[in-house]
Structure 1
Amino acid sequence: MNHRKRIFLKSVFIAGFCMLATFSACDKGFEEMNTNPNAFTEPVIGNLFTTSIIRTAGTGTADRNRTNIKYFAGTMQYMASLGLNWSGDKNYENNQFGDLFETIYNVHLKELQQIIAATEGNVDLINQFAIANIWRVFILHRATDIYGDVPYTEAGQGYISGVFKPAYDKQSAIYPMMLEQLERSISQLDATKSTFGNNDVLYEGNIAKWKTFAYSLMLRLGMRLSNVAPDLAKSWVEKAISGGVMQSNDDIAKVNHVAGNGNTQNWDSFELKRESFPESNAGKGPVKLSKTLIDALIGYNDPRIPFYATLWEGNILSQQTAKLPSTTDPTLQKGLPNGFDATTIKQVIPDFNNNMLTTFSEPNTATVASLNAPTILLSYSEVEFLLAEAALRGWAPGTASEHYENAIRANMQSTSLFPTVTLSNGESIIKDEVIASYLAVHPLDASGSFEQQMEQIYTQFWLAHFMYFDHFEAFSTWRRTGYPVLNAPNYPGNFTGGKHLLRLRYPVSEATLNKINYEEAVSNQGPDLYTTAVWWDK
C-alpha cells in the first residue's frame, strides 16, 4: 500500500474513533502530541516591530519610489523628468496614485496591529504597546495627509477583528484622535519596564528618545492645524513644546542603511539608481535635478550644492572618489525644467538634443542618494523650523530668528550622518564656519511682515528637506504654508488642468472592494480628484 495512503487511512480511523469515544478520553494529550515544540505559536513582537519600521521607511516596498519620488519629488520641483512615468513632474497619469494607500494598509500596519493586540492590557509590555501606538500615528498621519479622509479607527482591524471594509474617518476627526493618542501613549511610557531593545531600529528601546519623538510628532501635527483650527493648533503646539521636543541632531528619527542587501540598503536610492539614472545611460537618462532647486541653491550660494548635486560621471560608483571633487563643482550644476518631455523641452531649450542631458545635474549617489544614506523620518531641523513659525505666532519661547538659524545649522551639520566622501569643497561635511557665513548673509528679516518671514522660513525648509529625501513632509508643509512659491506645470493632457497637485486619489480597489465607505468619503470630502484639498489645507 502506498505510504501516503496508509497515513490518510490511519488519520480517518483516528478521527472516527474520536467521534465515537468521549471527548475527554480522545483529547487527552492529543493537542500536545500535534504541536511542534520548535514552532512559534505567538507573534514575536520584537521582530514584528522591526519589520513595521523598515517597511514604513520604504525598504522592499513600492510606495517610497512611486509616491515619495515619482509624485512628490516632481511636485516639489526637487527633480525633473522628460519621461511620462514621473507623475508629479508634469501631473500626468501613471496609475500609481493608490500605491501608498495600499501599502500603508496592507503592509505598514500589518505587523503593528498584531503587536498592539498582543500587548494590550499587559502591564509588563506597556512600553511596547505605547510605542506601537505612537508608530501607528506616524504611519496613519502620512495616509491622511496625502489622501484626506481615510480609515483610522478601523484601520488594520482586518488582521485582528475581520474588518475588511473599514469605514473612513473624516480628517477633522482623525487629527484630534492622533494628537490624543500621542498624549495618551506618552503618559504610558515607563522607563522601569522592558522595551523592544535592539529590535527598535530607530531608538534601540530608549524611552526618553521615544517621548521626544512623540512630542516632536505632536508639534508637526499641531502646526498642521494652524490655518484650519488655530486655537486647537496653539494648544497642541504649546503642549508639545512643554513636553520636550528634539534638542539636537542626536534626537533624529532615522533608519540606518547598509548597501549590498535588499533588506538593509536605502530603497529610495536603490530605485533611483536602478530606474532613473542607471550607469548604463552614461548621463543620458531622463531624470535630473530640477532647475527650480538648482537655481535656488545657486542663488543662495548654498554650501549644500556639492552634497545634493553632481554631473553624471560622479555617479559612476567605480570612479566616485576620483570624479566627485570636480563633478560636484557648484559652477557646473544645471537643473532641468519641470513639466516637459523630450519634444516639448524645446519650447524652453530650442537647441535641445539628447546628448545635452549629460550636462544636467543628478542627485549625488555618494551622499544624499547613497545606498548607505539613512532614511530620515523626523528631524531636529524640521522641529526648529516649526518652532520658528510657532515663535512668530507667539506660541513658542525664543525668537523666530533663533529657531530659524538653529534649523539651518542643524540641517547643514547633518551632512555628518551621510557617507564620508570628498567633494568639490575638499570636505566631507559642511564646517561650522561655513554655516556661520551662510547665516550671516541670509538672516531672517525680523522687520518683515508675517508672510515675508514665513516665506523665508519655509523656502529654507524646502531647501533643507531635500537632504533627507522626505518629500512626503515637504509636500504637506508646502500645501499648508504656500512656500516656496512654485509654478505649476501645464503639460498637455495633465490631470490637474494646469493647477497644483493637492492630494492623491484613492486606489481603484477602494471604489470596488470598499464601495459604500469610499462613496461616503467622497461625499464628505469632495470629488476624488488630485485638486481636491484636504481638510487642513486652507
Structure 2
Amino acid sequence: MKTKFFIMMLLVISTAFLSCTDDLVELNINPNEPEIAPTANIFTSATKEFIDFSRDGFNEGRLTLPWMQYWSQTAYADEDRFLYRETTAESIYTNTYLTMRDFKAILDLNTNEETKETAALYGDNDNQIAASRIMLSYMFYELTNFFGNVPYYSYGSDNETFQAGQLEAGNFTPVFAAQQDIYTDILKELRESADMINEDEIVFTNGDNIFNGDALKWKKFANSLILRVATTIKGVDTEAYETAFDTAITSGVMTSNDDNASQEYDTIDVSASPLWTAYLTREDFAVAAPFVELLKGERGNFNPDPRLFQMAVPIAASINEVKAGYVADLDTLDYGDYLGVPYAFRNTNFLNRNTYSYPSSNVIKPDYREVFMEYAEVEFLISERNGFAQANYENGVTASMEKWGVPEEDISTFVANLPLANQANVLNQKYIALYMQAHQAYTEYRRTGFPNTLVQIDETVALPQQQIDGLAPDNRVETYVFEAGPVDPSVSDIPFRLRYPQILQNLNGANRDAAAANLSNGDLIISKLFWDVN
C-alpha cells in the first residue's frame, strides 16, 4: 500500500511536469482513447474498488467480523484477540483516499463547463454529483469511525481544514479535520445530495451497480444514511440528531427491501465478491459460536431464530459444498445441527472441520451483494428515535427475515413471540440484522454497548462435547478463557479505534502527531472517539 501511495503521488508530479513540455504531451496522446473518461465507467470502478478493499478477507474478515463475533478464524486467533495487522489499517486508510479521487473526478467532470456536457451523456449532471457526494459521505463516515480525525474532502464546504482533495494543487500533507466537523459536514452533504436529486432523471445510464440508475432509490439511500449518521452522534448532540433525523424522514427513507443499497458482483472469480475471493484457496473463517448460540436461543432472550438456516450451514456441510451452492433441506434441519467455531480459541486449528458451521451459500458465493445499508436498519433506527417503539422493532425483524429468505410462516411465529421492545431487545435484534455489515455493527457496539451477548474478555467459555471429542488427547480441553492480545496497552473491551497507519509518520508526520495529540490517550486503541460516550 505504501508503494501504491507513492506511485499515485509520482503520477501527479509527473503529469504536472509533462504538461510543461508540448512535444511530450503530444507523444502521450492516444488517438484511439477518449480524452474524457466516461463518468459511468469511473463510478462503476469506484464503488466496486471501495467494497473490494473495505469488505475483503483482511479488512472485514480478520477485523470487524471477528471483533463483533459474527465469524471467528479457523486456523489462528490473533486478530480475534485484537492483534490486527498494520496492513489492515494502512489498506483502509490509503485505499479510501485513492477511491475518493475517482468520485472527485466525477464531480469535477460534471461541474467543469468544458466537460459537463460530455458527462451528461452518461446521466443527469446533478444526479451524478449527488450520487458521488453520497458515496464520499459513506466512505468518510466509515473512515473517521475507524481512526477519528482524518484528512477530509467536502464538495460543498469551504472549511479550510478540509484538505484531502488538494493533492492536484500540490498539498501532499493535508491537515486532519476534527471528527466533529466531519460529522457536521457529512450530514450537510447528505442533506444537500438528497435535495438536489432529480427524481425524474436517470443517475447513470449504465454502470450503477447499486441502484441501476434509479434516482428515487438514491434519494432514499441518502436520507436513510442521515438516520444512521445522526444517530451515531445522538449522545453528544441531541438537537442535531433530532433535526437531521426528522428532516430525513420527511424527505423519504427506505420503505422496503426493494430499496436496499448493495453492490452487485459477477458470477466469475475475477470480478466476484471479496469474501468469495477470500475462500477461493483457503477456509479461514467459520461462523462464531456466540452468534450461532444467539440464533439458537441459547444466548440472550430470543427464541430460536430461523435466520440461522439461511446464514450458516450445518456442521455436516463442508466448505466445498458451500462453494458449490449448498441448499439446506428445511424440512429435516434442526438447530442441533449447528455449532459455531469457538471464538478466539487458540487451539481452533486442532478442531475437526465437521464440528463447526461455515457461512451459508447465501453469503459465500461469487455474486453475493455486499450491503451498504438496508431497510431493516432504518426501522430499528426509527424505533430508537421513537423511544424503542414496538411497531418499528417488529418491522425491522420482519424485514431482516424477509431479506434472508425465511419462510413467511416462520417469520410470523418468531415475530409474534418477540420479547417486548426495549433498548436491549431492539439493539440486539439490530445486531443480528447487521450480519455481514460488521463495520457498522462495530460502530453500533461502541456507541451503545450492544449487543450484550458477546463473549467478554476474561470470560471462561465451555466447549460443546462434540468439539471436545474432536480434539486430539494432547490438545483436549473442556474450557478456555478468552484472553485479549497481548495488546499494548492492554484492553478490557473491544478496541475503541484503530491506530493511524505507521506510514503517516513519514508521509504526514506533523499533522498525524497533531491529530494524535487530540485523542484522549493519544494514538492508541483505548482512545475513544468523540461520539463514544457509552
Whose Rg is larger?
1
Deviations, residues 206-230 of structure 1 (Å, cap 9, x unaligned): 2111111100011110111111111
Task: Map Cα deviations across residues 235-269 of structure 1 (whole Å, 9 max, x no partner).
Answer: 11111111111000010001222322322x11123
Secondary structure at the counterpart of residue 270 of structure 2: coil
- Indicate the SS of the match to 1:66: coil
1:414 matched residue in structure 2:
403
Alignment match, 2:128? 128
State yes or no: 1:368 paired with 2:363: yes
Deviations 1:179-210 (A, max 9, x none): 11111222222245553122211112221111
The letter for the 1-side match of 2:85 is N
Match of 2:460 in 1: none
Paired letter, 2:451? P
Q: 1 CA distance for matches of 2:24 and 2:312?
A: 66
Contact 1:269 1:370 in 2 (8 A): yes
Are the equivalent residues in 1 in contact too, given 2:380–2:393 (CA < 8 A)? yes
Contact 1:63–1:99 at 8 Å: present in 2 too? no
Other structure's SS at 2:36 match:
coil
Using a 3 Å threshold, how does the CA distance of structure 1 residues 314 and 42 change in structure 2: closer, same or farther?
same
Residues 270-285 of structure 1 aligned to structure 2 (within 5 Å): 270-277=277-284
Matched residue, 2:311: 308
Higher mean alpha-carbon deviation, 507-516 vs 114-123, is at: 114-123
Cα 1:474–1:358 change in 2 (3 A) is same
Q: Quick check: 1:437 aligned with 2:431?
A: no
Is 2:248 the partner of 1:240?
yes
Q: How many Å separate the matches in 1 of 2:512 and 2:173?
A: 10
Alpha carbons 1:314, 1:328 under 8 Å: kept: no
- Residue 378 of structure 1 corresponds to 373
Shift of 1:501: 1.4
Is contact 1:91–1:496 with CA below 8 Å preserved after alignment? no
**Counterpart for residue 85 of structure 2:** 94
Q: Relative to structure 1, is the Cα distance of residues 81 and 321 closer, same or farther in structure 2, using a 3 angstrom cutoff?
A: closer
Task: Check conservation: 1:227, 1:536, Cα contact below 8 A.
Answer: yes
Per-residue deviation, 1:323: 7.3
The correspondence for 2:423, drawn from 442, 447, 454, is: 454
5 Å-filtered alignment, 1:65-464, equals 65-81=57-73, 83-84=75-76, 87=79, 89-95=80-86, 96-106=88-98, 108-120=99-111, 125-153=125-153, 154=162, 156-157=164-165, 160-191=168-199, 195-263=203-271, 265-277=272-284, 287-299=285-297, 300-310=303-313, 311=315, 313-317=317-321, 324-325=328-329, 329-342=334-347, 354-364=350-360, 366-392=361-387, 400-415=389-404, 429-445=405-421, 453-464=422-433
Aligned counterparts of 2:427 and 2:72: Cα–Cα separation in 1: 21
Q: What stretches of structure 1 of length at least 5 have no aligned partner?
A: 1-26, 278-286, 346-352, 394-399, 416-428, 446-452
Match in the other structure for 2:10: none
Question: Is the CA contact (8 Å cut-off) linking 2:62 and 2:84 kept in structure 1?
Answer: no
Range with bigger deviation, 186-195 or 370-379: 186-195
The residue that corresponds to 1:476 in the other structure is 443
Question: How far did 1:433 drift?
Answer: 1.6
SS of residue in 1 equivalent to 2:486: coil
Aligned residues: 459
Distance 1:240 1:178 in 2: 13
SS of structure 2 residue aligned to 1:376: strand
Sort the Cα spacing of 1:155 and 1:272 in 2 relative to 1 into closer, same or farther, 3 A.
farther
Q: Residue 312 of structure 1: CA displacement?
A: 5.6
**Displacement, 1:41?**
1.5
Q: Give me the whole-angstrom Cα distance separating, in 2, the residues matched to 1:386 and 1:273.
A: 36
**RMSD value, Cα:** 2.7
Measured in 2, the distance between the counterparts of 1:224 and 1:164 equals: 31
Please state whether the residue corresponding to 2:329 is helix, strand or coil: helix
Question: For the residues of structure 2 that align with 1:318 and 1:296, how far apart are their CA atoms?
Answer: 22
Residues 251 and 536 of structure 1, relative CA distance in 2, 3 Å threshold: same
Return the offset for 1:121. Answer: 5.4
Whole-angstrom CA distance in 2 between matches of 1:321 and 1:82:
21
| Aligned partners of 2:201 and 2:215 also within 8 Å | no
**Partners of 1:382 and 1:461 within 8 A in 2:** yes
Superposed CA deviations along residues 97-152 of structure 1, whole A, max 9, x for unmatched, are 3321111112x212111111221255762221222112111111110111111111
Listed one character per residue, the Cα deviations across residues 495-517 of structure 1 (whole Å, up to 9, x for unaligned) are 45242211111111112211011
Structure 2: give runs of 5+ residues left out of the alignment: 1-21, 154-161, 298-302, 458-481
Percent identity (aligned)? 25
- The CA distance in 2 between the partners of 1:145 and 1:62, in whole Å, is 13
- State the shift of 1:294 in Å: 1.0
Aligned-partner Cα distance in 1 for 2:25–2:74: 63
Q: Choose between structure 1 and 2: higher helix proportion.
A: 1
AA of the residue aligned to 1:172 = Q
Q: Quote how far apart the aligned CAs of 1:81 are.
A: 2.4
Partner of 1:9: none
